[in-house]
Chains A and B, each alone.
Chain A
Amino acid sequence: MLWLWDNLDLVLGLTADHVRLSIIPIVVGFIVCIPFGWLANRYTVARTILLTLGGVLFSIPSLALFVTLPALLGTRILDEANVVVALCIYAIAVMVRGAADAFSSVSRDVISSSTAVGFSAVSRFWTVEFPLAGPVLLASLRVVSVSTVSLLSVGSLIGVQSLGYLFINGYQRDFPEEILIGIVFTVIVAVLFDTILVLVGRLLMPWTRATRRRRWVTSATASVSA
């Protein structure tokens, strides 16, 4: 613990880098998945293509992708952009699948009803389908957020500053405590992001809690009457 107090500035600085670099892929993944998820839900062909492509991209090992991107993008090998772009690719791959499932989880009857009461296709999408797909979208976004935070540290192997620096430095100096602190701070960042996402979800989708309670009550009454 003494090491942490002596190096608090370093650790906090790296934590700030970690937060800054992992926010971008989470936001990009969320924004990009909406049109693609809609496409995948609307057209079976698009679904097959997008999900297969996503599966292939997602199966590429992270370190290999970090190293390949400079040759594709023309960036320098030490550029932060390589890691950020790679994490964006993973985030999009997971989110598009999640979004396709989220949109198809919206009940057909609700969509038909909203068409019947006169919603145009666009306003139906934004005011009916998108909010109702929200809980499933949020679940995928939470997965993306946790795995982005955890994967970012691999980027330190190619020299991008993040909490992963503590792993490499601690390993090279044969100093487990530094690695342990790196792990603890990474987990703290992941938990922090997750908590924020859950709170934002509750704020934007207050009905999810109400429905859950009601469902519980009905299942309880069902079991009582049985």
Chain B
Amino acid sequence: MNLFLDALNFMFDPANLTGANGILSRLVDHLWYTGLSMAVAVVIGIPLGLLVGHTGRGRNAVVAVSSAARALPTLGLIFLIILYTGLGVGPLIVVLVILAVPPLLAGAYSGLEAVNRSTIDAARAIGMTEWQILFKVEMPLAMPLIFGGIRSATLQVIATATIAGYVGLTGLGRFLIEGLALRDYKLALAGAILVIALALCVDTILALAQRLVIPHGVARGLTRHPDESAAPTPRQHGRVSPAPSNL
């Protein structure tokens, strides 16, 4: 337990909190990398996933991309891209976007695919246009899975941005990497705790946001019929579990 006390001492020492290499500035960097790459990834991944889910075209490609992305080791991908493009925030963001798009795509696509066909037929029968069907019927019903995709993509980006410390960038992972390099376990542990705390806080905030975004009827339907939603892709808690059937 002494190790944890040492790490906590480091974290709560005012000298380590502020300044260019302080916890706050690295936290801001970590959030900046995460926010920027998630923003780009959402703009690419969600519309594409909705398009594929709505039209049903290109679904094989989406399934292939999302399962292939799961097999690719992120560490190797980062190092490879950075060797080709050079160090910097830009290449890191590119890698993070590449990692974040597949779960977003899979979430949006599988969310739309899970919508009951007869519901969509009914919407079409009462005269809704394709856009209305997408925005007023399919998207609200698919929201738990779309949001689940956003949550798992965000977690993956936060985790991977930790490795940014190894390629000379900052972020909270920098403490961890410096600690490992200097064989200063206290520092590494403090970095690890900070990263874990960040991931859990962000995920909690997203979980709360999810409650606000998901229509009440959809959320209630999910809890009321646990048996019906127990298909291979779990839907109850809205996280896209790594869509098993895709592999």
B162 and A61 contact, CB distance less than 8 A: yes
Quick check: which of A8-16, A113-121, A152-160, A216-224 contacts chain B, the rest being far away?
A152-160
Tally of contact residues, B, Cβ under 8 A: 55
Closest-by-CB residue of B relative to A144 is B242
Q: Which B1-57 residues sit within 8 Å CB-CB of chain A?
A: 3-4, 7
Does B83 interact with chain A (Cβ within 8 Å)?
Answer: yes
A136 and B244 contact, CB distance less than 8 A: yes
**Main SS of chain B's interface residues?**
helix
Interfacial chain B residues near A104, Cβ < 8 Å: 226-227, 230
Give the distance to chain A from B47, nearest Cβ to Cβ, in Å.
26
B159 and A61 contact, CB distance less than 8 A: yes
A153 and B166 contact, CB distance less than 8 A: no
Quick check: which of B71-79, B90-98, B109-117, B124-132 contacts chain A, the rest being far away?
B71-79
B192 and A67 contact, CB distance less than 8 A: yes
Give the distance to chain B from A115, nearest Cβ to Cβ, in Å.
17
Does A112 interact with chain B (Cβ within 8 Å)?
Answer: no
Supposing A139-B245, A146-B70, A146-B71 touch, asked if A105 and B4 sit within 8 A by C-beta, the answer is no
Interfacial chain B residues near A56, Cβ < 8 Å: 200
> How far is A65 from B195 in the complex, measured between Cα atoms in Å?
9
Supposing A140-B244, A150-B71 touch, asked if A64 and B176 sit within 8 A by C-beta, the answer is yes
Interfacial chain B residues near A70, Cβ < 8 Å: 3, 185
C-beta contact mask, A155-196 vs B, less than 8 Å → 1, else 0? 011100001101110110011100110110011001100100
Inter-chain contact total with CB atoms closer than 8 Å: 166
Does B108 interact with chain A (Cβ within 8 Å)?
Answer: no
A179 and B80 contact, CB distance less than 8 A: yes
Does B232 interact with chain A (Cβ within 8 Å)?
Answer: yes
Supposing A176-B80, A176-B84, A182-B76 touch, asked if A187 and B158 sit within 8 A by C-beta, the answer is no
Interfacial chain A residues near B226, Cβ < 8 Å: 104
Does A77 interact with chain B (Cβ within 8 Å)?
Answer: yes
Quick check: which of A23-31, A94-102, A122-130 contacts chain B, the rest being far away?
A94-102
> How far is A182 from B72 in the complex, measured between Cα atoms in Å?
10
Interfacial chain B residues near A191, Cβ < 8 Å: 71
Contact for B75 among A142, A157, A176, A190, CB less than 8 A: A157
Supposing A70-B185, A104-B227, A105-B232 touch, asked if A187 and B79 sit within 8 A by C-beta, the answer is no
B79 and A179 contact, CB distance less than 8 A: yes
Does A208 interact with chain B (Cβ within 8 Å)?
Answer: no
Sampled A-B contacts (15; CB under 8 Å): A61-B155, A61-B158, A63-B176, A64-B196, A71-B4, A71-B189, A105-B232, A136-B244, A140-B241, A143-B243, A143-B244, A154-B73, A163-B73, A164-B76, A167-B76
Interface of A with B (CB < 8 Å)?
51, 55-56, 59-65, 67-68, 70-71, 77, 94, 97-98, 100-101, 104-105, 108, 136, 139-140, 142-143, 146-147, 149-151, 153-154, 156-158, 163-164, 166-168, 170-171, 174-176, 179-180, 182-183, 186-187, 190-191, 194
